[in-house]
Structure 1
Amino acid sequence: MDASDSSEDVRARWSAGLREAAAHAYAAGHGAEPPAPQRTRWRLDARTAVTAAAVIAILAAVGWWGLRGEPAAPLVASPSPSASASAAAPAMLIVHVSGAVRSAGLVELAAGSRVADAIELAGGLRRRADESSVNLARPVTDGEHIVVGRVNRSGEPVAAGEPGPVDLNNADETALQALPGVGEVLAARIVADREAHGPFAAIEDLERVSGVGPAIIEAIADLATT
């Protein structure tokens, strides 16, 4: 007998001795022989197996969803009400309007306005304004100069180099004396009349002033305006 057979024989006798000692101890404590050992078998019916599989699948899906992680949404700062209001507010433009308008000078208007809007703020066109000298539909730009031309009594455009008409409703006594037939005394009467009775609607209304007749009206027809 070799050494390996001798070792197995010793282990077998040792195991048998332990089982026998355990049996005697059980009999002494319980007054009966120990029951024969039985194999334990796990059995699952079909319904239990399907339910277990479903639970395992759900747990796996939840675990995967939690581990995948969602990218953080970028933070977008919403503009404050004051910033929105200032952004929506239109920029204002400053435009110089001169020529055949009633109140030449600087006017302020909103961005996107047109030449017609600027002329309206300047009091509108005079009676002999040449509308063809400007494009009333053109959008204006900040800082520009709009010059409205005029026409003479015959309806012909007046050259830009020629002196403009004297405004009977705004000219002072010195400016009125530049008109033919109007001296210092008559100029003072014209100023006093318009202050007492209001502006002249037409050049012909100048006849209401003492000393002004048809001859003077004819002489200043192309040199004066209202």
Structure 2
Amino acid sequence: MEASDPATSSSEDVRARWSAGLRDAAARAYASGHGADPPAPQPTRWRLDARSAATAAAVLAVIAAVAWWGLRGEPATPLAVVASASPSALAGAPAVAGAPAALIVHVSGAVRSPGLVELRAGARVADAIELAGGLARRADESSVNLARTVADGEHIVVGRVNAAGAPVGSAAAPARVDLNTADTAALETLPGVGEVLAARIVADREANGPFAAVEDLERVSGVGPSIVGAIADLATT
């Protein structure tokens, strides 16, 4: 059995006597001030109610979240707020899916600023004329359909009227030639019909009866589809 170190034992005895002296001094001071011996020391116990525990847990959670966010090293990105489009913002949108976003139209004739104008899809002739400066003096408004929807690349021509109010360049439409009553002289006024052919037409209708339609002229020798097409708008039956 090893012998204890005399120096160590002496040091421990000194500390023990010193501690005992301090306790005795404290006890005497307490007794002198309170008139009674100090109470026996009790072990300290920590008690934490449910509310305090919940508060502490919440604080720890916030601290942990802040520490984690700071360690990420990335700036927070604010959420983008998308506003609903207003009706005025949608006014210039194409009316039909797949339609061009803009139309280019040529406006000429009796307008104040003839030339090319740019319109949105779904615009009308009235819109094109307005962008061309509006109708000029003595414009023939009836020469165009102002309510018609325009098409990309089209040419809108506004006519004029003369001082008398008649459309410029227009003339009274000639009376149509009646193939069943006209004489040879009247028939010769038709395109492609000469003296000989006019005589054949008169002879045919006298022999075979009146023509029911302009196309019936093809039964006359020398009259073909080209002549019928040329006189279709100038003759009648």
Shorter-chain-normalised TM-score: which range? Answer: 0.3 to 0.5
TM-score normalised according to structure 2 size = 0.37
Bigger share in helix: 1
Alignment TM-score, normalising by the size of structure 1 = 0.38
Query: Could you say which structure has the greater relative contact order, defined with CA pairs below 8 angstroms and 6 or more residues apart?
Result: 1
